[in-house]
Amino acid sequence: MVVHASAAEMRRWCLERKAEGKSLGFVPTMGALHEGHASLMREAVRANDCAVLSVFVNPAQFAPHEDFDRYPRTWGADLAIAEKAGIQAIYAPKASAMYPPNYATYVQVERLQDGLCSGTRPHFFKGVATVVAKLFNAVPADRAYFGQKDAQQSAIIRRMARDLDFGIEIVEMPIVREADGLAMSSRNVYLSPEERTRALCLSRALFQVEAVMKVGERDAAKIIAAVRKEMANVDIDYIALVDADEMIPRDRIEGKILLAVAAQVGKTRLIDNIKFGNYGQSKPDLRGSAIEVPL
Amino acid sequence: MVVHASAAEMRRWCLERKAEGKSLGFVPTMGALHEGHASLMREAVRANDCAVLSVFVNPAQFAPHEDFDRYPRTWGADLAIAEKAGIQAIYAPKASAMYPPNYATYVQVERLQDGLCSGTRPHFFKGVATVVAKLFNAVPADRAYFGQKDAQQSAIIRRMARDLDFGIEIVEMPIVREADGLAMSSRNVYLSPEERTRALCLSRALFQVEAVMKVGERDAAKIIAAVRKEMANVDIDYIALVDADEMIPRDRIEGKILLAVAAQVGKTRLIDNIKFGNYGQSKPDLRGSAIEVPL
């Protein structure tokens, strides 16, 4: 496993592999790797001849009051997880190289970047789209892997990859959950035991929607009300039922629908979601996420 | 010479050349090729193993009231000019493929896209940066060639290429002029004989600055006043003395300076410019443009 810090070196490594006729899978991350990331890496290794991981905590997607400084950095453990998954190269640039003096260029995915997480994090997706465009230029892969946990993010990246002609297929993988249902997140380490217990209401609320759907409920307002009731003990940021590609609010569950929730639990912001309909790359998860409910 | 209409095919062609160890030069254009474009193509052919031309009239950089519909399209003549220059592949995508339904992604180069041409064309550079990012993804070249005539554009592209880690060197080539000094432009065909004569005041005004500089003038206000006087018979859009990299207005000529002018001559908008100082890639042009004045 090799580690590259410069975009030019990383790109050269990738182009050498491509010149050998090898396919490349890419897993962009902010490190603090958990089983969710590992599932992306294993799929990248399985479906491609070579797999590249990037580890970069992107300052451009954090607001000044957010957790950039205390975001978990676990480089040693990350290396071990990447090695075990079969990753062949890691791109780990420095922030000063990614954002040199007089940095001025930003990528934005209009409309899709509005709503949901943009309410509390207005500049978040601008930072995400920009850094992923940079990472895609350093790692000219055939396929890139993102988790459904960040569903708005993966819709934005998918649209950006198509619109800007990156020629990279975006693969969205199912949410990986703890045994009790909590969606895995690098931020879960912030939770106190009491908060950890309260946080379970996010996934519980989403799983209950499945039951409501089974008895034929398709009305967004009623579903959102049921979710809101279940999440009474956390500080709800949003509960949104939207078109899964366009992120536009929907009144009824028809077509590809994303039900996404965000809440503050103590000082930690958590997100979770579930998708309905014959949606893109996501596969059924027996533990409850990415459920494909026939309509 | 091959012509590709799809980004995927164009990229495959380029990656095959790169896999053979060949270097790639790229000249992005809107067609209606003239001697200015030909000078870029000849340099791309000279300095690289292979050279690619793109021909795409980009709707995203025209406002509804501008000349998108009547912009000159001269495909047959363009092919002959490209062939003669030694171009090996042309990328000529359709607008419907470049901007498919629900297109949403835009690239912006903040600060540099403000001022100068943005006054009358507020969305112009957003359209330019976006389409060039798309073209760079379809044509992963080693070097891309732009004309100094569009000086704000080439500063924006140079910054974008650096910021987004495209790994493409941006080469700016000197303005090519008609024998009487008029900067070559695809839009010159719009000019009536009377307008064509009046249009000469742009280059004449810039050449006179050279004389003023030689007697030691460094004050921006005085230089701008002299240019304004010379351009009395056209409808001036702007006369700007700015830092040539950052596009920030300067009071005195110190460091790398761009003196840029824009004016409406009849229904045709024309631009021209001159640079001072030890500026980047530009080379002295004996006919008057890109003059390197020692300070």
Q: Which of the residues A34, A37, A65, A123 is marked catalytic?
A: A37
Mean pLDDT in residue range A13-36: 97
- Whether A218 shows a pLDDT value over 80: the answer reads yes
Which one of B113, B123, B134, B165 makes the best mutation probe of the A interface by having the most chain A beta carbons within 10 Å?
A: B165
Q: Is B107 on the interface with A (CB under 8 A)?
A: yes
Q: Is B100 on the interface with A (CB under 8 A)?
A: yes
To the nearest whole percent, how much of chain A has pLDDT over 90?
89
- Whether A201 shows a pLDDT value over 80: the answer reads yes
Enter the ipTM.
0.92
CATH architecture of A191-276: 2-Layer Sandwich (3.30)
- Whether B295 shows a pLDDT value over 60: the answer reads no
The per-residue b/e assignment along A192-221, b for 16 or more CB within 10 angstroms, e otherwise, is eeebbebbbbbbbbbbbbeeebeeeeeebe
User: pLDDT for B283-294, tens place per residue?
Assistant: 333 333 333 333
pLDDT for res B174: 97
Q: Is A228 on the interface with B (CB under 8 A)?
A: no
Residue of A105, A159, A165 with shortest CB distance to B137: A165
Residues of A in contact with B140 (CB under 8 A): 140
Cβ-proximal residues to B197 (8 Å cutoff; 6+ apart), any chain: none
Q: If you average pLDDT over every residue of chain B, what do you get? A: 93
Mean pLDDT in residue range B95-122: 97
pLDDT for res B277: 80
- Whether B106 shows a pLDDT value over 80: the answer reads yes
Domain spans in chain A, listed from the N-terminal domain onward: 2-173, 191-276
Q: How far apart are CA A84 and CA B125, in angstroms?
A: 46
Q: Is A256 on the interface with B (CB under 8 A)?
A: no
Which one is predicted more confidently, B48 or B212?
B48
To the nearest whole percent, how much of chain B has pLDDT over 70?
94
Q: Which of A242, A244, A208, A214 has the alpha carbon at shortest distance from A228? A: A208
Q: Which of the residues B34, B37, B65, B123 is marked catalytic?
A: B37
Which one of A13, A160, A164, A168 makes the best mutation probe of the B interface by having the most chain B beta carbons within 10 Å?
A: A164
Q: Is B274 left (phi over 0), alpha (psi -120 to 50) or beta?
A: beta
**Cα–Cα–Cα angle for B135, B138, B140, nearest 5°?**
95
Q: How confident is the model at residue A231 (pLDDT cuts 50, 70, 90)?
A: very high
- Whether B212 shows a pLDDT value over 90: the answer reads no
Which one is predicted more confidently, B217 or A161?
A161
Q: Do A105 and B138 touch (CB under 8 A)?
A: no
User: pLDDT for A131-187, tens place per residue?
Assistant: 999 999 999 999 999 999 999 999 999 999 999 999 999 999 999 999 999 999 999
pLDDT for res A286: 31
CATH architecture of B2-173: 3-Layer(aba) Sandwich (3.40)
pLDDT for res A278: 55
Residues of B in contact with A138 (CB under 8 A): 165
- Whether B281 shows a pLDDT value over 70: the answer reads no
pLDDT for res A241: 96
pLDDT for res B205: 97
CA distance B72 to chain A (A): 26
Q: How confident is the model at residue A212 (pLDDT cuts 50, 70, 90)?
A: confident
Nearest CA in chain B to A107: B107
pLDDT for res A290: 34
A37 a catalytic residue: yes
- Single pTM value for the model: 0.93
For residue A65, what are its two tokens?
A: 């009051």
Mean pLDDT in residue range B107-135: 97
Fold of B186-276: Pantoate--beta-alanine Ligase; Chain: A,domain 2 (3.30.1300)
Mean pLDDT in residue range B25-34: 98
Q: Is B286 on the interface with A (CB under 8 A)?
A: no
Cβ-proximal residues to B166 (8 Å cutoff; 6+ apart), any chain: A137, B133, B136, B160
pLDDT for res B93: 98
